[in-house]
Amino acid sequence: MKAPNTPPRIRIAAAGKRYQQHQIFENVDLTVGEREVVAIIGPSGCGKTTLLRCIDGLIPLTQGEILIEGSPMLAPRAGVAMVFQHFGLFPWKTVHDNVAYGLKLSGISKAEINERVPHFVKLVGLSGFEKYYPYQISGGMQQRCGLARALATEPRVLLMDEPFGAVDAQTREILQFELLRIWEDTPTTMVFVTHSIEEAVLMGDRIVVLKGRPSSVHEVVEVDLPRPRDRATLLLPHFAELREHVWGTLMADARQAEFDVIKNN
Amino acid sequence: MNLNSPWLRGATVAASLALGAVIWEVTGRYTSDAFWAPLSATLSSLREVAVNGVLLRQAMSSFQLYIAGLALAVVVGAPFGMLLARVRWLRVALEDYVLMLYSTPMVALIPFLLSMMGFGFAPKVLVVFLFAVFPVLYNTIEGARSIKPELIEVAQSFRSGEWQLWRDVMIPYTLSFTMTGVRQAIARGLVGMVAAEFFLSPSGLGQMIMMGSQNFDTAGMLAAILLIVLLGVGLMDLGRALEKRFAVWRGYNP
Ligand SMILES: Nc1ncnc2c1ncn2[C@@H]1O[C@H](COP(=O)(O)OP(=O)(O)OP(=O)(O)O)[C@@H](O)[C@H]1O
Ligand SMILES: [Mg+2]
């Protein structure tokens, strides 16, 4: 149990972002606890990546605020790490050097880096590939490498933008279960964006549905499935219920939009 | 014929070279000495200048000029190119000049340099430099500019400062493109070297060619040319090796 006066890991209050005349999202409120996994889901272009960038401190909000451990995120900060949809590996660095990147920047000695990196390389199942360049390994392995790079900084908040969006279905499934296993070992705060309803239900404690133009939090679905979660979770009747529920929420608008198009013609 | 076998390849190349040598020798014997000499005469002329020390002296003179100009081109071209790529207004202001000079045949500037700076060592170095610098500059700018903004965002997300961004991202990424420029500069610099030795005060291997030509010593002239050709081939290989070395991560294999 956490002390009553500890601030939540992440607190997003009345957050909004506008680019010139274009309001991307507004009035987003969300509080994420210490060992909580929150999935953000919503139609393409609704501002999920933008929101995640704001949480990471890469770009500023235009309304409201985002606090991590009580202090506002105005710039990227130690303890918060991001896994990118496009992997974001440095192609001129080997797997080892990519994983070491965050550690190198935080000024840790070379000896200690060389001691720590193999642990995280092993954690994501890349042992033996330390000397490979990104172009020499598969997409799934590249994403593992991106994950290891983020994990190596031992973040208290892990942000992931469609972490498995660019890999094939089988790899995606394997990576999901591996991430669940890694999370069970060291449970941290995780916020991840996904387009997959199944992935959101499987991994999340809560699912935040972003919708509308400008978008805002349309619904927050509590996922009360037991942990640890694994393949058997997929077979639970309650899993299917939750999946259908989220599906309905997301699709209601999509279908409405389709009807609008037909009516307007 | 299966040219994938290294042995067969080697044999083909050797046969081709041998045939070339034979043609050179035979045509040399049946043409006027005024403009063509057989290979054997060329080689013995080469041996002669090698023994009497002229070759070493002239080659060193050329080499000094070449290295000075080329080194200056790399040392100026690479950092300046990265600066141009990162500082937007500077790039907008100067890009057109770079492109213009990149595509200008530099020989055209030699008479102008001559009247400006006279016959010393410095104007010759400047000629080699001008021949070599624009490929380095141009490739560096294009390379540095092609870096994905996503990667810069990754660096920011990991809290990279500006100087670390240069150390970990800009320079290692751009260097591989700079090396493509350096490979071109290696070849162009050699042209610049010979041009400078021809058109400014004669010196080095260029002078050997000119003197051979003026004294109707065709074998001596061919000896100097042969040397420059061999030098060029060797330098091109060096350039390609350099480029390859810095582009391993692109899976690049020229
Ligand atoms: N730098 C920017 N300037 C102006 N508009 C931007 C900028 N970045 C993003 N946008 C706009 O913000 C909107 C949301 O983009 P964002 O990438 O956050 O969507 P998303 O929900 O992540 O979409 P997807 O699911 O396709 O990844 C888009 O309409 C996009 O055009
Ligand atoms: Mg996105």
Q: How far apart are CA B184 and CA B179, in angstroms?
A: 9
Question: Residue B4 above 80 pLDDT?
Answer: no
Burial class (CB in 10 A: 0-12, 13-18, 19+), A171: middle
pLDDT of residue B139 exceeding 90, the answer is yes
Cis amide prior to A72 (ω within 30 degrees) = no
> Are B150 and A90 a contacting pair at CB < 8 A?
no
**CATH number of the domain that residue B185 is part of:** 1.10.3720.10
ipTM: 0.88
Which pLDDT value is given to residue B50? 86
- What would you report as the CA-atom Rg of chain A, rounded to the nearest whole angstrom? 19
Residues 6+ apart with CB under 8 A from B233: none
Kindly report, residue by residue over A207-256, the tens digit of the pLDDT.
Answer: 999 998 889 999 999 999 998 998 999 999 999 999 999 999 888 766 66
Kindly state the greatest CA–CA separation across chain A: 67
Domain, as residue range, for B237: 59-201+222-248
Q: Tell whether A102 lies on the interface with B, counting CB pairs under 8 A.
A: yes
Q: Is the CB–ligand 1 distance for residue A102 below 6 Å?
A: no
> What are B150-209's pLDDT values in tens digits?
999 999 999 999 899 999 999 999 999 999 999 999 999 999 999 999 888 888 888 999
On the question of pLDDT at B115 being above 60, the answer is yes
pLDDT digits (tens, 9 = 90+) for A157-198: 999 999 988 888 888 888 899 999 999 988 999 999 999 999
State the best of A80, A85, A87, A90 to mutate against chain B, taking most chain B CBs within 10 Å: A90
Q: What is the pLDDT of residues A61-114, one digit of tens each?
A: 999 999 999 899 999 999 999 999 989 999 999 999 999 999 999 989 999 999
Contacts of B122 (CB under 8 A, 6+ apart): none
What atom in ligand 1 is closest to the CA of residue A48?
21
- The proportion of chain A whose per-residue pLDDT surpasses 90, expressed as a percent, equals 71
The neighbour count for residue A92, using CB atoms within 10 Å, is: 22
For residue A44 and ligand 1, the question of a CB distance below 6 A is answered with yes
* Cβ pair A32, A9 in contact under 8 A: yes
Confirm or reject contact between A90 and chain B (CB < 8 A): yes
Chain A residues within an 8 Å CB radius of B172: 90, 92-93
B30 or A89, which is more confident: A89
* Contact between chains at B248 and A76 (C-beta distance less than 8 A): no
- CB of residue A41 inside a 6 A radius of ligand 1: no
Domain ranges for chain A: 1-76+190-255
Where does the pLDDT of residue A265 fall: very low under 50, low under 70, confident under 90, or very high at 90 and above?
A: low
Superfamily of domain A1-76+190-255: P-loop containing nucleotide triphosphate hydrolases (3.40.50.300)
CA dist., res. A103 & res. A110, Å (int): 9
Residue B157 maps to a domain: yes
CB nearest B157 (choices: A58, A90, A93): A58
* Residues comprising chain A, all counted: 265
Mutational test site, ligand 1, from A21, A40, A48, max ligand atoms within 8 Å of CB? A48
Structural domain includes residue B194: yes
CA neighbours within 13 Å on the CB side: how many for A91?
19
- For chain B, the domain total comes to 1
Task: Supply the pLDDT for residue A258.
Answer: 61
Lowest pLDDT segment from A124-133, B11-20, B29-38: B29-38
Is B31 an 8 Å CB contact of chain A? no
